[in-house]
Each structure stands twice: as structure tokens, then as C-alpha cells.
Amino acid sequence: MDIKQALWNRFEKYVQINTQANSGSTTVPSSEGQILLAQTLQEEVQAMGIQNSILDQGYLYFEIPSTVKKSVPAIGFLAHLDTSEDASGEKVKPKRHNNYAGGDIVILKDIILSPAHFPELNEYKGHDLVTASGDTLLGADNKAGIAIVMTLVELMQKKNWEHGPIKIAFTPDEEIGRGMDHFDVKKFGAEFAYTIDGDLVGFIENETFNADEVVIEIEGKSVHPGSAKNKMVNAGRVAADIISSWPETMMPESTEGHEGFIGFMNITGGIEKASIRGIVRDHDLSKLKSMEELMISIIEEKKKKYPLAKIKLLFKEQYRNMKEVIDQYPEVMKKLAQAMEAVGISPKIKPVRGGTDGSRLSFMGVPTPNIFIGGSNFHGRYEWVSLDGMQKSFETLVVLTKEWAKQENFANPS
């Protein structure tokens, strides 16, 4: 079995199915393409002889039975079906750049993937890289993960090695934060799991942001501008004043690593009404709460400055840092590191400056760190993935199944 070719064949097929999520939709999943991809995957699984798959509301679950007689933990692998709203996922045309020699890759006339701007490319000389055609995102996030998992499943049907129960799930709407909204932990059946949804080769993640949504609603007063003095309140101006009062050092564009921020993601309005929707993020929950307290104080100051305006502030919890859960089960990361080292990769642990399905799943009773797929620049036209990197991720999963087969069973974390 030519693993790299199998990965390419699947990946090329999957990315051409438009699964772009739609945050404005109330359906589950939020777009029809996700159902189409889930059905395609279920058909592939059934053709391999696996007859226990369940497709429910866009969630596809199935199991590969244990090949060992002793009781060992059931582990799971997950990848998500949807792609980001940030760039088009329609009519994706993947372009394969074999044996990358270094230097610029001209995706399109004005879309140039260059090590001058993306220096991590220098580490991928000799790799077979894949980009889109310049009009869309590629969809490696997370169809590369799907291709890796499905290729693993295919190999497990052809080769017999010792492994415990392997649980697989493909989930919808991860990109819009709904991936776990209707996830059935019992149908999944894993005690520990891994999302195959990371980025560059060797990087693994056991830590995410703590995340809240922030909504600020402003009600102004519309009066003819010729007689507006001491009568008009321009809600749009109040919104701008609130945003400009937030420290620039605590915004997404000026933070990295473990530094937190409030990002103002959507601003609408006029004189009578305005709204600000944003996100609050920090790996340390106490620091997240401190930022929220600072925003509360800013809003209180604006209420005094604009007494004729009505300003409402709301914070809504989205997810919490999965490290809090994963650290209680060190074997989850230990076995992953052992598997990576066995295939010649030095594990590099970093925090996710975002969230994964594993964030919420960990708090649902299944500790779930994140594994690399071998790509970068997700959500846009500069997105790329290495087929060689995908193969290393695949090899890691093979060894990981073997490592867990050595583990005597112990208490389910849930």
C-alpha cells in the first residue's frame, strides 16, 4: 500500500466537496456539503467491510474492534467535516507541488507562497506540498485529518496488528464552534481520544484558550443634526469609543503564545443602534476574568460619559482550557510522545491559540489532545499541506494504536 498516494487520492477527492460552515444557519449541520461528505465517508467505510457505522445529524461514528484478548482502553480519533467561513470552499482545485525545491510557489498571479513571509516553508524542502488554485482555501483544515484517519482505517482492514478498540468520529461545524453541540459520547465510546486537527509536523497541543463571547449592545437617540446638541446620542460613535478604549496590547493582532486578548470580530450600527460582537481568550481563566472586569469598568465609564445612551454588556461561556482535564491523565500525552519518537519526530508541545473539538470533549469526559496534520496558513488562499507531513501523522497514529494496546485498562475518566 503506497501510503502517500492513498493520502493524496483521498485528500484530492474530499477537498472538492464544499463543506464550508455557515454560522447564520440554524440547521444541523449548518451546510448540506457536510452531510454529503459524511455520506461519502460512510460509503467508503462500508465498502471496507465495516458495518457498524452510524450517521446521525452529520456526525459519523464507527468502530474497529480490538485484536487483543486483554482489556485495554478504547481510544478514539476525530476530524471535522467543515471548512472555515473565512474564504470560499466552492470548487476547490488542489495543486500538487512535488519535491518542493524551496523558494516561491506561485499559486496564482497575485497569490505567492513565499518563505520570505512564511519561513516555516524552509523546513519542507523535498516534500510534496499541496495548495489550492488561488481562488479558494484548500480545506486541509480538516480534510487532511479525515484523509489520514480514513487511510489508517483502510490499512487496519488489510493488516493485522495488536490494538485495542478504535473509535472513529467525523464531526460537523467545528469551525463555527458547534462541533460538540450534538456529539454523542456514548455512541462514540472512547475513553481517551485525539483530534487530528493540528498544523506543522511535530507540533501537538494539550492546551487551548479559555473562551467567552462578548456582546455589547448600544441604544442611541436620533435627532436632526441641526438641533442635536445635548439631545443626540450616536450609537455608532459610542461603539467606536468603547473599542478605542480597549488596550492595543490586548488585541489579537498584538499577542502571541500564552497572551490573551479581546478581539472585536463584528461591528454594526448607526445612530440609533449599534452592536459589537467579539471574543475573549486566555489560557489562564483568572486572566480571562480580569480582562472581562476591565471591559466592565470601561462600559461603566462610557455610561457616565454618554448618560443618554443605553449600553448592555454580556459575556457568554464558549469553552474552557482542556489542559485542566488532560493533565489528570498523563498517559494520554506520554503515549503520543512515544509514538512520535518511534517514527522519528521530536514532539513539540504548544498551546492552541483557539479551540478544538477536543476542548469541549475533554470536559465531556474524554481527554482529547490535538495531533499535527503537516500544514499551515489555514482558512485562506495561502493554505498548504505537506503530503509527507500527512504521512508522518498517519505513521504516528499507527504506532499510537500499538502503544495503547500495551496499556492495562484503568478507570474511565468520565
Taking Cα atoms as reference points, which of 309, 293, 284 lies closest to residue 234? Answer: 309
Q: What was the pLDDT predicted at 411?
A: 53
In the residue annotation, 324 being an active-site residue is answered as: no
Portion of the chain with pLDDT greater than 90, in percent: 94
Cβ count near 411 (within 10 Å): 8
Choose one of 267, 290, 319: the last residue of a domain: 319
Nine cell digits for residue 274: 449599534
Contact 89, 19 (CB under 8 A): yes
pLDDT (tens digit per residue) in 307-366? 999 999 999 998 899 999 999 999 999 999 999 999 999 999 999 888 889 999 999 999
In the residue annotation, 174 being an active-site residue is answered as: yes
- Note whether 186 and 216 are same-domain residues: no
**Is there a domain that residue 27 lies in?**
yes
Does position 90 have pLDDT exceeding 60, yes or no?
yes
Only one residue has cell 478504535, namely 166
**Is there a domain that residue 411 lies in?**
no
**Is there a domain that residue 126 lies in?**
yes
Average pLDDT in the chain: 95
Does position 412 have pLDDT exceeding 60, yes or no?
no
**Is there a domain that residue 412 lies in?**
no
**Integer Cα distance of 261 and 249 in angstroms:** 8
**Integer Cα distance of 314 and 213 in angstroms:** 8
Catalytic residue among 63, 82, 197, 199: 82
**Integer Cα distance of 234 and 84 in angstroms:** 34
Torsion angle defined by CA atoms of residues 6, 11, 14 and 16, in that order, rounded to the nearest 10 degrees: -120
Only one residue has cell 499551515, namely 376
Portion of the chain with pLDDT greater than 70, in percent: 98
SS3 for the chain, per residue?
A: CCHHHHHHHHHHHHHCCCCECCCCCCCCCCCHHHHHHHHHHHHHHHHCCCCCCEEECCEEEEEECCCCCCCCCCEEEEEECCECCCCCCCCCCCEEECCCCCCCEEEECCEEECCCCCHHHHHHCCCCEEECCCCCCCCHHHHHHHHHHHHHHHHHHHCCCCCCCEEEEEECCCCCCCCCCCCCHHHHCCCEEEEECCCCCCEEECCCCEEEEEEEEEECECCCHHHCCCCCECHHHHHHHHHHHCCHHHCHHHCCCCCCEEEEEEEEECCCEEEEEEEEEECCHHHHHHHHHHHHHHHHHHHHHCCCCEEEEEEEEEECCCHHHHCCCCHHHHHHHHHHHHCCCCCEECCCCCCCHHHHHHHCCCCCCEECCCEECCCCCCCEEEHHHHHHHHHHHHHHHHHHHCCCCCCCCC
**Is there a domain that residue 413 lies in?**
no
Q: What is the mean pLDDT of residues 45-57?
A: 97
What confidence category does residue 168 fall into, taking pLDDT thresholds of 50, 70 and 90? very high
Domain of 17, in residue numbers: 3-208+321-405
- Note whether 196 and 63 are same-domain residues: yes
Q: What was the pLDDT predicted at 355?
A: 81
Does position 408 have pLDDT exceeding 80, yes or no?
no
Q: What was the pLDDT predicted at 414?
A: 46
Q: What is the mean pLDDT of residues 194-201?
A: 97
- Note whether 120 and 145 are same-domain residues: yes
- Note whether 69 and 155 are same-domain residues: yes
Contact 384, 375 (CB under 8 A): yes
Q: Phi and psi at residue 124, in whole multiples of 5°?
A: -115, 20
**Is there a domain that residue 200 lies in?**
yes
- Note whether 344 and 200 are same-domain residues: yes
Q: What is the mean pLDDT of residues 175-180?
A: 92
Lowest mean pLDDT among 74-78, 265-269, 354-358: 354-358
pLDDT (tens digit per residue) in 139-149? 999 999 999 99
Choose one of 286, 304, 319: the last residue of a domain: 319
pLDDT (tens digit per residue) in 147-157? 999 999 999 99
Q: What was the pLDDT predicted at 177?
A: 86
Taking Cα atoms as reference points, which of 271, 65, 81 lies closest to residue 169? Answer: 81
**Could you tell me the CATH number of the domain that includes residue 139?**
3.40.630.10
- Note whether 181 and 61 are same-domain residues: yes
Catalytic residue among 63, 85, 154, 174: 174
- Note whether 108 and 253 are same-domain residues: no
What confidence category does residue 297 fall into, taking pLDDT thresholds of 50, 70 and 90? very high
Q: What was the pLDDT predicted at 413?
A: 46
**Integer Cα distance of 208 and 367 in angstroms:** 13
**Integer Cα distance of 46 and 154 in angstroms:** 11
- Note whether 197 and 246 are same-domain residues: no
What confidence category does residue 410 fall into, taking pLDDT thresholds of 50, 70 and 90? low
Does position 172 have pLDDT exceeding 60, yes or no?
yes
- Note whether 280 and 374 are same-domain residues: no
Q: Is 288 exposed, middle or buried (CB count within 10 Å of its CB: 0-12, 13-18, 19+)?
A: buried
**Is there a domain that residue 73 lies in?**
yes
- Note whether 229 and 195 are same-domain residues: no
Number of structural domains in the chain:
2
Tell me the residue type at 182.
Answer: H
- Note whether 265 and 376 are same-domain residues: no
- Note whether 53 and 151 are same-domain residues: yes
**Is there a domain that residue 83 lies in?**
yes
